[in-house]
Structure 1
Amino acid sequence: MTHTSRLAVLLAAVLLLGAVGAVAVLRAADRSGSRDRQQAGGPAVHAGSVSLRPGADRRLLVRNLAWGPHRDEIASVPAGRPQGPRTASGVKCLRFHAAAGTAICLQAEHGALEDTYRAVVLDAHLHELHRFPAAGIPTRARVSPSGHRVAWTVFVSGDSYAGTNFSTRTAIVDTRTWAIDDNLERYAVVKDGRPYHASDINVWGVTFADDTRFYATLATGGRTYLVRGDAAARTLTTLHRNVECPSLSPDGTRIAYKKRAPGASPDAPWRLYVLDLRTMAETATAEHRNIDDQALWADDATLVYALPGDYGSDLWTVPANGSGAARRLMTSAVAPAYVR
């Protein structure tokens, strides 16, 4: 065999091996893609139109965590059939909330050296209206009942509320004028009836009563407080200790929140409680696991919140009055919002 013939045989062998390898990779990718499209035991997810407009049926919107091409997209299901097929919007959010035809979507923008974040206000068809740069990792988001105000919280440093080595930044935007309060720590604080000043103040977890009044968590001196905020007066007034990530009930009378339970592990310190704003009486819910979320009121009697699941988080529900038991509402989902 001549030298030229040997080279030809060698080249043919290399090409054949390359082809075999390519076919194997493509088949593996196809099998993987099939698993993504139909996650074993997971919900059915398909692309479609998602709207915040009220319809014939009440709907639940979530960030879909089911593996597949629609992971991290905002998806919709009938509120009465939360385990049913999901309609995915194509809009990806890390945190999400919606009310009255307005939504807030906190997103990551992946760069070559580091990620940056933004807060995007969406209309009733989930189309972008306005965007703002976000100073850190998204963690909480809320829309006022009228849709005229949106709020978000990010971690400026740290990535967990469990310890003390973190710093947050919370902003509120008026969706009619796009005016922004980009740091609620600048508000005047009234603590225990007196003006209060400290360099270690953190504010997070806004929940709106209306377009002026809201509630949030304020941390200072190693303690957390429920504060009532007044956007017109730019004040924060402490109401109750040991309250984090408050959520106001639809009737405006109670706050659901996570509370650091005595004797709990420092790595899993929170239990879910409800505070009566008229009497300041606390009620422990029947959920006894660690809750690191800002619970949502499905109605005046029921709370929805996230717990770790096989694909990131599952949604659970529990009565707000301390009765009953916790039950799984929806798998592979987080950041719920009801379209009423």
Structure 2
Amino acid sequence: MTLRTRLVVLLCALALLAGVATVSVLRAADRADRRDRAVPGGPAVTSGRVALSGGPGGLLVFRNMAWGPHRDELTTVPADRAGGERTAGGVKCLRFYAASGTGICLQAVRGPVQDTYRAVVLDARLRVTARYDVPGVPSRARVSPSGRLATWTAFVGGDSYVGGDFATRAAIVDLRTGQLTPTLESYRIVRDGRTYRAADVNFWGVTFASDDRHFYATLGTAGRTYLIRGDLRARTVTTLRTNVECPSLSPDGTRIAFKKRVKGLPADAPWRLYTLDLRTLRETALTEPRSVDDQPVWRNNTTLTYALPGDYGADLYTLPSDGTGTPHLLTRSAVSPTYLN
């Protein structure tokens, strides 16, 4: 084979390899493009203005889980037409909650080696007013009814509430003063009237009372969970009842909605929804037959909203809070709901 022939063969081989590479790149780009398009038959989502303020009939704001260019963005729909067309505001959150024109958005910060996380405080126009580092994978978020206090929970060990091999950290920040409590583990724990100390203490799922002083949350220790009532001024938490997780205080402050571990259920789906009367400590089993791993949201004093696994991450359901009725699908491909009146 002459030198010229060898050069021709080499050039042809290089051209063939280049063609194969080009086809591979185009196919990959096409797959990515298809992933970014809205799923046929899924909810319609368009860009627009999202504000953390209510309107006639109220608004529902949540993290959009539908595949497409607006996946993970905060979106809004009229509260009475939750399945309608969504408006996406461009801000992405893993967990979200809002009240009185203040939002807390837990975000992932993509890094070359590993992701980090942060809590971003938003005003009514979704403008960032403050940022805080979050020491693990975000799990829960809440804002007090006045908009003054914000809280978040993160997994700092493990990545699920299923089983007992996990560690969480719950933080609270006063948005008026900027005072941050990085972990509720710094508070004095009162159990059965006595100070309690243990190395395995975890807190998660904070929910605020309307006085901007008291709150409720879950305390986990020694293989048990407790509903606790916290006092921000005294920096104490007091146990009220066992087997309560991810509490959510009703708008009138009289009841807690929560998930409870029920004996006999599968280890990977152990919870059922309940409500608890805070005056009598009498609990009511709700009619949702599936395991709910969520911190429910009260739409009003009679109706709860919560997430269950769906085809694209999660779907939202509603249920009466008095133990009657049946679950109702609110909207698909959504999580972290907030009602704004």
TM interval, shorter chain, is over 0.9
Which residue number in structure 1 is paired with residue 109 of structure 2?
A: 109
Per-residue Cα deviation, 1:27-79 (whole angstroms, up to 9, x for no partner): 67347525632212211111111101232341111111111111111111111
Determine helix, strand or coil for the equivalent of 1:53: coil
Give the counterpart letter for 1:147 in structure 2: G
What is the rounded CA distance, in whole Å, between the counterparts of 1:276 and 1:4 in structure 2?
Answer: 90
Summarize the alignment of residues 155-304 of structure 1 with structure 2, pairs less than 5 Å apart.
155-210=155-210, 211-304=212-305
Which residue number in structure 1 is paired with residue 150 of structure 2?
A: 150
Determine helix, strand or coil for the equivalent of 1:22: helix
Which residue number in structure 2 is paired with residue 337 of structure 1?
A: 338
The 1:5/1:116 distance shift into structure 2, 3 A limit, reads same
- Give the alignment's Cα RMSD to 1 decimal: 2.0
Which residue number in structure 2 is paired with residue 76 of structure 1?
A: 76
Shift of 1:17: 7.2
What is the rounded CA distance, in whole Å, between the counterparts of 1:30 and 1:265 in structure 2?
Answer: 41
What is the rounded CA distance, in whole Å, between the counterparts of 1:83 and 1:20 in structure 2?
Answer: 44
Which residue number in structure 2 is paired with residue 100 of structure 1?
A: 100
Determine helix, strand or coil for the equivalent of 1:60: strand
Per-residue Cα deviation, 1:117-172 (whole angstroms, up to 9, x for no partner): 11111111111111111111100000000000000000111111111111111100
* Structure 2 gap ranges (5+): none
Number of residue pairs aligned between Structure 1 and Structure 2: 340
Per-residue Cα deviation, 1:284-333 (whole angstroms, up to 9, x for no partner): 11101111110101111111111111111111111111111112111111
- Higher mean alpha-carbon deviation, 275-284 vs 186-195, is at 186-195
The 1:12/1:41 distance shift into structure 2, 3 A limit, reads same
Per-residue Cα deviation, 1:181-238 (whole angstroms, up to 9, x for no partner): 1110111111122222222211110000121111000112211111111101111011
What is the rounded CA distance, in whole Å, between the counterparts of 1:31 and 1:62 in structure 2?
Answer: 27
Give the counterpart letter for 2:335 in structure 1: V
**TM-score, normalized by length of structure 1?**
0.94
What is the rounded CA distance, in whole Å, between the counterparts of 1:183 and 1:24 in structure 2?
Answer: 49
Give the counterpart letter for 2:246 in structure 1: C
Which residue number in structure 2 is paired with residue 319 of structure 1?
A: 320
Determine helix, strand or coil for the equivalent of 2:125: coil
Preserved contact between residue 38 and residue 69 of structure 2 (Cα < 8 Å):
no
What is the rounded CA distance, in whole Å, between the counterparts of 1:187 and 1:259 in structure 2?
Answer: 25
The 1:156/1:21 distance shift into structure 2, 3 A limit, reads closer
- Higher mean alpha-carbon deviation, 17-26 vs 260-269, is at 17-26
What is the rounded CA distance, in whole Å, between the counterparts of 2:85 and 2:12 in structure 1?
Answer: 50
Determine helix, strand or coil for the equivalent of 1:177: coil
The 1:102/1:21 distance shift into structure 2, 3 A limit, reads same
Shift of 1:10: 6.4
Which residue number in structure 1 is paired with residue 51 of structure 2?
A: 51
What is the rounded CA distance, in whole Å, between the counterparts of 1:263 and 1:306 in structure 2?
Answer: 23
